[in-house]
Amino acid sequence: MTPAATALTMIIAIVAIGSVVGFLAGSRERMDLEQWAVGGRGFGIVLVFLLMAGEIYTTFAFLGVSGWAYSRGGPVLYVLAYLSLAYAASFFILPQLWEEGRKHRMQTQPDFFNTRYGNRYLAGFVCVVGILAFIPYLQLQLDGVGIIVSVASFGHIGRVPAMTVATGLVIAFVFANGVRAVAWVSVVKDFLMIVAAIAIGVGIPLVHFGGIGPMFAALAHTRPAHLTMPGATPNLGHSWYVSTVLLTALGFYMWPHTFSSTFTAKSSDTLKRNAIVMPLYTLTLALVFFAGFATVLILPHLQNGDLALLTVVRRTFPAWFFGLIGGAGALTAMVPAAIIILTAATLFAKNLYRPLFAPSMTDDGVARLARAMVVLLGATSLGFAIHGSSTLVSLLLTGYEMVTQCFPGVVLGLYWRRATGPGVFIGMITGVFTAVLLMSTHLDPVMGLNAGFVALCINFAVTVTASLATPARTPAVAPELT
């Protein structure tokens, strides 16, 4: 069998197994695993660590980060900084959010906005922002599958057919039984990914340079500027770095699905202990950085940086191993894609359409609308993926620039009694509008700063000003501090 055939067979087999076994009960699997891990049960600590670390290896983490390490250099370091900050912020903010959620029976992000500000249009707008942000996120997952298949087939199978099939599969999963990850499918995927990460992060530098130290020494000798900021870019310098770290750290829990996972925690104490421990799992991301930087010297002239890691893996390891990684990688892309599509479609039908346009719609009607949205969202993301040419990291940042605009509404809502619905609404609209404007006119970074961050600052300022300018009302959700 040719290497391509071997690799592709492995990939298809793994994806098929994942699909066929399907997704049975086990919703909120990730949160449960975290809580179990953090609960300190003691059993299989090493195993649990491996699994949790494996969860960190998303398409973005694996392909996107290595892609940017290859093509941008230093700026990619923001990824190592923002996660710890996000967890640190969550330590203080999430327990409060959880308390309010428990008191008022909140389940979703729009629920929070509706309850705190008493404004369904604001809640609806939050839905829109979330869905808009999800599209580049979905696009990135589909791109990931396209990359994996095209590298595995040495370019014989194009991205477009691969992505189209993947999209079709994802939509099929969601239709079949409203996706929930099977415990062991996730486990196998996580385990594979962390093994892959270790093999790749240690193996590639070892095979090509004799170790991680020698690899960095060589890179420091030949291309030192690549390792610092702005690296290989003209404009991603220190101020961009700081603004992007802040943007993504604050936005981390603003994604609709991560936001609502807060409400499913057993207690606010669990959330705190989570926040303390989770940064340690991100340490394994360093492995991706090692491998990513190694590719700079191994493969100097690649057009699309996101292909770098897999191309080097294909060169360095036997075809079956590549296939194994590729298959795990494909699942790693498709499982979240399914969850995202379902979340977005449900949000649209239940929290946007019904409350605002069709209050008497039955639950059945909502379900049917959601299914229609699943297809629409899948097709839209596929369309963007086929015609787009952004790097995986750029796509995620695009999503962040929009979703983080929800942050002022959340944090001011929790801690500032005087925040009003109209104030937050105007602020959010300004923020989203600014972000979209700056991004579409390619003014990102602007004045050296991440465009989304600039939009966020403007958002905050407008929210505070507009809140003060509109009449105060006694909020149903009483902030703890004034």
Partner 1 sequence: MCFTVPIWDRVEPLVLGLPFNLFWLILWIVLTPCCLWGAYRLEGTAEHPANHDS
Binding interface with partner 1 (CB under 8 A): 74, 77, 80-81, 83-85, 87-88, 91, 95, 99, 211-214, 216-217, 219-220, 224, 227-229, 238, 241-242, 266-270, 272-273, 275-277, 279-280, 282-283, 286, 289
Question: CB neighbours of 289 closer than 8 A, spacing ≥ 6?
Answer: 65, 66, 69, 76, 77, 80, 201
Measured CA to CA, the distance from residue 237 to residue 5 in angstroms comes to: 43
Nearer to partner 1, 106 or 324 (CB): 106
Measured CA to CA, the distance from residue 102 to residue 105 in angstroms comes to: 5
Nearer to partner 1, 155 or 213 (CB): 213
Nearer to partner 1, 239 or 390 (CB): 239
Nearer to partner 1, 95 or 378 (CB): 95
Nearer to partner 1, 72 or 350 (CB): 72
Of 245, 311, 229, 265, the residue nearest 84 (C-alpha): 245
CB of 315 to partner 1, least distance (A): 23
Of 292, 60, 48, 318, the residue nearest 190 (C-alpha): 48
Nearer to partner 1, 183 or 227 (CB): 227
Nearer to partner 1, 49 or 154 (CB): 49
CA 234 to chain centre: 26
Question: String of b and e for 440-463 (b: at least 16 CB within 10 Å)?
Answer: eeeebbbeebbbbbbbbbbbbebb
Measured CA to CA, the distance from residue 121 to residue 355 in angstroms comes to: 9
Question: CB neighbours of 124 closer than 8 A, spacing ≥ 6?
Answer: 110, 351, 352, 355, 356
CB of 364 to partner 1, least distance (A): 38
CB of 301 to partner 1, least distance (A): 23
Q: Which residue has the tokens 């019904």?
A: 354
Would you list the DSSP string of 190-250?
A: HHHHHHHHHHHHHHHHHHHHSSHHHHHHHHHHH-HHHHSTTTT-SS--HHHHHHHHHHHHH
CB of 153 to partner 1, least distance (A): 33
CB of 286 to partner 1, least distance (A): 6
Nearer to partner 1, 80 or 157 (CB): 80
Q: Which residue has the tokens 């894609």?
A: 337
CB of 79 to partner 1, least distance (A): 9
CB of 95 to partner 1, least distance (A): 6
CB of 466 to partner 1, least distance (A): 27
Please, what is the Cα angle at 255 between 245 and 57, to 5 degrees? 70
